[in-house]
Amino acid sequence: MWLHRPGEVFCRNEIYRKLRDVDFAENVLLFDGADLLNGRDWRVLVRTAIRAAGLVVTSHQTCRLPTLIQCRTSPELLRRIVSQLLPEVPEKAESLLPALHDRHAGNLRNALRELYDLFAEDIFTLPGNLGARRRIPLTGALRQFVC
C-alpha cells in the first residue's frame, strides 16, 4: 500500500488516517525518506511500526535508527546505468559522467536528469544515421529512470 505517491498532492491527515486504519500486524512497514520527517511525523511512524512485524526506513542522512546498510554511488555505477539505458553511449556523453557524478555529489537521479537535459538540448551526436529515430526512445528511457 502506498501512503503517498510521487507527484500526488501531499495530505498529512490522509496519511495519518491510512496509518491508523491499516492492520500492519503481519507486514513489515517500509518507509522511504525518513530523514524528511519532522518530530511529530516520526512519532506517528513509530506508533504505527509498533503494530507492524517490522520497520525498514531509507534515508539520505543518518537518522533516528541504526544504519544497517549504507549505499554509495560511483562514477562507474553511473556509467553502468547509462550504458544499460543507452547501449551505444556517445563518447562525449561518457566522458562527462565522472564530472556529472561529482557535480551532483553522487546523487545519480540528479546526474541522470542533467544528462537527460543535455540530450534534450541535442548536444550529442548519436552513432550512425539513426540520430533522429533514436533520440525519442533514448530520452524516453532516461525519462523513465529519472522521473
Tens of pLDDT, residues 97-143: 999 999 999 999 999 999 988 887 776 655 543 344 344 344 455 55
Tens of pLDDT, residues 21-66: 878 788 888 888 888 888 888 888 888 888 889 889 988 888 788 8
Q: Are 33 and 59 in contact (CB under 8 A)?
A: yes
Tens of pLDDT, residues 67-108: 889 889 999 999 999 999 887 887 888 889 999 999 999 999
Predicted local confidence at residue 10, as pLDDT: 62
| Residues contacting 143, CB < 8 A, separation 6+ | 116
What are 54's strand-pairing partners?
A: 28
Q: Which stretches within 6-130 are classed as H helix?
A: 12-21, 39-50, 75-85, 91-103, 108-120
Return the C-alpha cell found at 23. Answer: 492492520
For residue 55, the SS3 value is: strand
Return the C-alpha cell found at 91. Answer: 563518447
Q: Is the predicted pLDDT of residue 5 greater than 80, yes or no?
A: no
The model's pTM: 0.59
Per-domain boundaries in the chain: 1-71, 75-146
Q: Are 26 and 53 in contact (CB under 8 A)?
A: yes
